[in-house]
Copies of this chain bind each other. A is one copy, B any other.
């Protein structure tokens, strides 16, 4: 049976954000961890919200991730997420853990919540202790509101050297009710240059239990946040958190619900938009690169090949130099673990065929070069050995990437 998702029912909310779903508010303040910009933020749900989370695959999870996991383990419910930038509270040992607990407790006290209804996230330099007096004072200044300005305050507070704020919002009708999903994220950037951290926060007023929410988050993360790469390095602080507070009033969403796929599709749109914004704002980047792989044996292989291509330094520099260098794409496919056969591979740059029938194709270098001068580049690869597809996103590798990351920390 052919399964069709009626995506006409999913609507993008251009000026939507994390406070657009019913019952959510936010704020961001300048606690003094950095010179002048906001550096402490909160997302708040007026009622306890079912939640889900995914964490970095690094062996060295930072202290706030441990505390957040402990919060969620207790009931699968959150009501507030407190986030600081400028300091990742990573590689800070027992002291760092105590600081993350204190940050959680102060926030819980401030909003009259049980401790385990609060999640904690941090991003910034690693190996330094948090200035808890500044954090604690900042927490008392947080006044979450459901306004655009308050959302912007939050979005600013989570940035490090990101150049732009990252937001997305979609609506979908479920059981005749409007369900809204909003998101905010930060990407790759540094205070002192340590490592990039990706943080994502998604709010929704959908009525959905924690288990089902986790199922959606896991599935969608694997084809959105986990499919971006800036430089192949994984942070100790990466985390995506979702809160669903049920205020939309739909029937409980599970994978048995007739509109399960529509909810997932809307969730995917929010996640994918945030992921693309992060990739495009990668350090030193001038271009967003999207790689779509079709004709793979499995989804996993499609995703892996797409990510391998978009992560290749040689592909990234070729895109920066506006060079339609298909040989490097072949090279990246060649060293993936996927099932491949050179005779069956097609490679397209947008609609320009570069390689098919086991041989390079004649194409206009001028047309290809002109296309590669755009700030969004699409590479399509058909592996021709199966039916599965996947996408990945990244950015070009530029002088500025080297400049940003070679500059001395102090």
Choose among A234, A325, A355 the residue with the greatest number of B CB atoms under 10 Å from its CB.
Answer: A325
Contact B358 A93 (CB under 8 A): yes
The answer for the CA separation of A327 and B88 in the assembled complex, in Å, is 11
Contact B342 A91 (CB under 8 A): yes
Does A397 belong to the interface (CB within 8 Å)?
yes
Contact of A360 (CB < 8 Å), options: B127, B323, B408: B127
Choose among A194, A233, A355, A360 the residue with the greatest number of B CB atoms under 10 Å from its CB.
Answer: A233
- Give the contact stretch, choosing among A21-29, A66-74, A135-143, A331-339: A331-339
Q: Given contacts A325-B193, A369-B408, A406-B321, are A93 and B359 in contact (CB under 8 A)?
A: yes
What is the distance, in angstroms, from A91's C-beta to the closest C-beta of chain B?
A: 6
Q: Given contacts A60-B334, A327-B194, are A313 and B314 in contact (CB under 8 A)?
A: no
Q: Given contacts A335-B57, A342-B91, are A312 and B233 in contact (CB under 8 A)?
A: yes
Contact A323 B236 (CB under 8 A): no
Contact A334 B236 (CB under 8 A): yes
Contact A323 B58 (CB under 8 A): no
The majority secondary structure among interface residues of chain A is loop
Contact of A232 (CB < 8 Å), options: B312, B358, B398: B312
Does A410 belong to the interface (CB within 8 Å)?
yes
Contact of A328 (CB < 8 Å), options: B233, B325, B402: B233
Contact B342 A127 (CB under 8 A): no
Q: Which residue of B lies closest to A408 (CB)?
A: B323
Complex interface: chain B residues within 8 A of A326 (CB): 127
Contact of A236 (CB < 8 Å), options: B234, B235, B330, B340: B330
Complex interface: chain B residues within 8 A of A126 (CB): 327, 330-331
Residues from 314 to 372 in A contacting B, C-beta threshold 8 Å: 314, 317-318, 320-323, 325-328, 330-336, 340, 342, 355, 358-360, 365, 369
Question: What sequence of 0s and 1s flags, for each residue 68-96 of chain A, a beta carbon within 8 Å of any chain B beta carbon?
Answer: 00000000000000000000001111000
Contact of A325 (CB < 8 Å), options: B327, B359, B360, B409: B409
Complex interface: chain B residues within 8 A of A327 (CB): 90-91, 125-127, 194-195
Please give me the 10 A-B residue pairs with the lowest Cβ-Cβ distance, nearest first.
Answer: A321-B406, A317-B405, A58-B334, A194-B327, A234-B335, A60-B334, A231-B313, A126-B327, A195-B331, A127-B360
Jot down 19 A-B pairs with beta carbons below 8 A, ordered by A. A58-B334, A58-B335, A59-B333, A59-B336, A59-B342, A60-B334, A126-B330, A127-B326, A127-B330, A127-B360, A193-B314, A193-B318, A195-B331, A234-B331, A320-B406, A397-B402, A398-B402, A398-B406, A399-B402
